[in-house]
């Protein structure tokens, strides 16, 4: 449980942001310069804000009104820095164990060595223990940095664009580890990023920052389905998120059927067991709109729904939000098409999505239960 | 050849004394050197540049002047000398300890410079990272800063040792040239050059001085190299 309110000013930049989060992975999303790093530095105690109240799991870490400022080393907030910041003179093992000297003793039932083994296994760093940071790849360094933060038994993990310094291949390698961390470690995470792909894949809650202010807070699917936020979430990559489960595989055609509340989606074969939960991002630009159930069309996915909202404007491109059995879907059309089809709020339509629109960026392991709760509660 | 390399007892005394003086000069100035280097590198206080200038004074002043100032301060009647003798029973004037002090003072700027440069180059973000993992300032220094600046400390120690070993002007001014007490290698060589017919002995001690200096330099190179590699994790 996070309750964050920070106001800070240096030079021409003013940060005035507040948000609450129920746990899971909270993404601070925004352009560079939006105040994301300043905000987590204030949370971690690396920055003393002008005015702030920061409460993590009931512990008041900063309250300028009451003159409370817990120093960084007593906050028990694990910080994963963009550049890793591993200690170069220590081995991977020594790096991992650094914070344990100062960590509070753990539960009796989970032995200390058991916990270390768990983290090593979770992050797949078992083969690196004897090595020095200088001999690690960027992805390996970040996994060790995450393990080091985790083994200090933090009450909260903050990650400052941990993938920004990595190339695409390394990112793809490390993302599943962060998903496992979110789902299994039981530590809430605040994750800073300006990459829509990362955020939609990882976040249970999204905080959209714009020029030092919070533009929106909410469950990721809800935020990504808001067309008014498209200028901030990025038009090209913007897309709604559907929570789905694997319903079956079609071996003959190499397809997998995903079941969402909105309907079934057929996508290129996924190597997942039936029943596995999966998040799918459907980019607005991949969605076509039809007035009647289309026939003689190659696209395999047709979801019935209703137009809820059409963004105002006189540009060539128009964004709209659909309601498909309670789930939000967004679409980008030319204004001309909107006029030709006579689209307006309340109008029943069919969203058509090509199966090949689902590339590997579109999928992510489903968030844990708390996130799902939040979505049904607020969404 | 055997006669050339057989040292007289006086010469052996001078060599041993030199090593002892240089060793204690180095060791004694080490904690102060680290402290002052930290202060100069990290401290933000009024008079920092003044302290910096003061530390560097022995480097630019004639050694005789430094020796005379030491004599004024630490002589038996000097304010600090009197205080030390009364409170701790330590006498520096005309003792080998005084020679060590002279060597320490002359080597101090070199030691501080070397350590300070290494502190300046430490990535402070690593220290911040250690802080977020729960380490307090002292632990951060002991487990992160110190290992990273070790090459600089070693280099500073060697420089200080070498400077103390070669110290002449300040030593002879402060503690005079007493065989067996303050007559270090350079002073012994100087004495020998003043006596006709001792050319061979002079040459012998000169070679010893060269050998010790070379060995110190070589050892320092190896140690610094090793420490630097460890600090970088190579």
- Chain B neighbours among A 2-61 (CB < 8 Å)? 44-46
Q: Which domains does chain A have, with CATH numbers?
A: 2-224 (3.40.50.300), 239-378 (2.40.50.100)
B138 touches chain A (CB under 8 A): no
Domain boundaries, chain B: 2-232
Strand runs labelled E in chain B: none
Low pLDDT (below 50) residues in chain A:
107-111, 367-379
Q: Cα distance from A341 to chain B (closest Cα, Å)?
A: 57
- Chain B neighbours among A 228-267 (CB < 8 Å)? none
A88–B232 C-beta distance less than 8 A = yes
Cα B6 from Cα B12, distance rounded (Å)? 10
Q: Is the pTM of this model over 0.90?
A: no
Cβ-based contacts of B147 with chain A (< 8 Å)? 89
B126–A87 C-beta distance less than 8 A = yes
- Which residues in A199-236 are b (16+ Cβ under 10 Å) and which e? bbbbbbbbbbbbebebbbbbbbbbbbbbbebbebbbee
Cβ-based contacts of B125 with chain A (< 8 Å)? 81, 83, 85
Cβ-based contacts of B232 with chain A (< 8 Å)? 88-89, 134
CB A51 within 8 Å of CB A7:
yes
CATH number of B2-232: 1.10.3720.10
- Which residues in A252-262 are b (16+ Cβ under 10 Å) and which e? eeebbbbbbeb
The helix, strand and coil proportions of chain B, stated in percent and rounded to the nearest 5, come to: 80, 0, 20
Cβ-based contacts of B145 with chain A (< 8 Å)? none
User: Cα dist. B119→B37, B93, B122 in Å?
Assistant: 8, 35, 5
**Local confidence pLDDT in tens for the 234 residues of chain B:** 456 777 888 888 999 999 999 999 999 999 999 999 999 999 888 889 999 999 999 999 999 999 999 999 998 888 888 888 888 888 888 899 999 999 999 999 999 999 999 999 899 999 999 999 999 999 999 999 999 999 889 989 998 999 999 899 999 999 999 888 999 999 999 999 998 888 888 999 999 999 988 888 888 888 788 778 877 766
User: Cα dist. B83→A322, B16, B66, B78, B90 in Å?
Assistant: 89, 30, 20, 8, 9
Interface test with A, best of B228, B233, B234 (most A CBs within 10 A): B233
Cβ-based contacts of B133 with chain A (< 8 Å)? 73, 78, 98-99, 102, 148-149, 152
What distance separates the 2 farthest-apart alpha carbons in chain B?
70
Give which of A239, A215, A236 is closest to A227, Cα–Cα: A239
ipTM of the complex as predicted: 0.81
| Two tokens, residue A312 | 């105002």
């Amino acid at each position: 449980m996070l309750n964050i309110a920070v106001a800070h000013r240096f030079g021409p930049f003013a940060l005035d942001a507040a948000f609450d989060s129920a746990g899971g992975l909270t993404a601070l999303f925004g352009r560079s310069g939006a105040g994301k790093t300043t905000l987590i530095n204030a949370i971690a105690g690396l920055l003393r804000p002008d005015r702030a109240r920061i409460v993590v799991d009931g512990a008041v870490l900063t309250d300028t009104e009451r003159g409370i400022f817990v120093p960084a080393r007593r906050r028990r907030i694990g910080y994963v820095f963009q550049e890793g910041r591993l200690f170069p003179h220590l081995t991977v093992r020594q790096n991992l164990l650094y914070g344990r000297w100062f960590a509070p003793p753990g539960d009796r039932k989970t032995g200390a060595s058991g916990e270390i083994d768990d983290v090593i296994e979770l992050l797949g760093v078992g083969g690196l223990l004897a090595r020095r940071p200088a001999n690690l790849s960027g992805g390996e360094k970040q996994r060790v940095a995450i393990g080091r933060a985790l083994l200090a038994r933090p009450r909260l993990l903050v990650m400052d664009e941990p993938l920004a310094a990595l190339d695409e291949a390394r990112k793809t390698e490390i993302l599943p580890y962060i998903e496992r961390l979110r789902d299994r470690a039981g530590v809430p995470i605040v994750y800073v990023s300006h990459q829509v792909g990362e955020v939609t894949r990882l976040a249970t809650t999204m905080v959209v920052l714009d020029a030092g202010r919070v533009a929106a807070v909410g469950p990721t699917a809800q935020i990504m389905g808001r067309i008014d936020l498209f200028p901030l979430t990025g038009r090209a990559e913007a897309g709604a998120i559907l929570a789905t489960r694997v319903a079956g595989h079609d071996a003959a055609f190499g397809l997998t059927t995903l079941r969402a509340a909105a309907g079934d989606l057929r996508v290129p074969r996924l190597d997942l067991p039936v029943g596995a939960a999966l998040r799918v991002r459907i980019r607005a630009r991949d969605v076509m709109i039809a007035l009647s159930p289309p026939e003689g069309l190659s696209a395999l996915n047709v979801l019935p729904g209703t137009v809820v909202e059409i963004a105002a404007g006189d540009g060539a491109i128009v964004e709209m939000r659909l309601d498909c059995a309670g789930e939000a879907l967004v679409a980008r059309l030319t204004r001309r098409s909107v006029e030709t089809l006579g689209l307006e709020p309340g109008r029943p339509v069919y969203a058509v999505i090509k199966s090949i629109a689902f590339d590997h960026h579109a999928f992510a392991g489903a968030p844990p239960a708390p996130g799902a709760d939040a979505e049904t509660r607020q969404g | 050849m055997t006669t050339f390399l057989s040292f007289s007892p006086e010469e052996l005394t001078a060599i041993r004394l030199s090593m002892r003086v240089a060793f204690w000069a180095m060791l004694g100035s080490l904690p102060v050197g680290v402290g002052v280097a930290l202060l100069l590198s990290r401290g933000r206080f009024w008079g920092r540049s003044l302290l910096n200038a003061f530390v560097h004074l022995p480097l630019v002043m004639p050694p005789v002047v430094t020796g005379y100032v030491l004599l004024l301060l630490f002589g038996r009647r000097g304010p600090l000398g009197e205080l030390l003798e009364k409170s701790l029973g330590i006498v520096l004037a005309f003792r080998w300890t005084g020679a060590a002090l002279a060597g320490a003072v002359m080597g101090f700027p070199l030691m501080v410079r070397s350590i300070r440069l290494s502190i300046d180059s430490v990535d402070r973000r690593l220290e911040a990272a250690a802080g977020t993992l729960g380490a307090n300032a002292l632990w951060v220094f002991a487990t992160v800063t110190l290992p990273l600046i070790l090459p600089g400390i070693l280099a500073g120690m060697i420089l200080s040792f070498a400077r103390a070993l070669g110290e002449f002007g300040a030593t002879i001014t402060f503690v005079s040239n007493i065989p067996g007490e303050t007559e270090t290698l350079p002073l012994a060589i100087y004495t020998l050059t003043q006596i006709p017919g001792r050319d061979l002995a002079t040459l012998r001690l000169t070679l010893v001085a060269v050998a010790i200096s070379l060995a110190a330099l070589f050892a320092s190179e190896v140690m610094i190299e090793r420490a630097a590699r460890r600090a970088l994790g190579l």
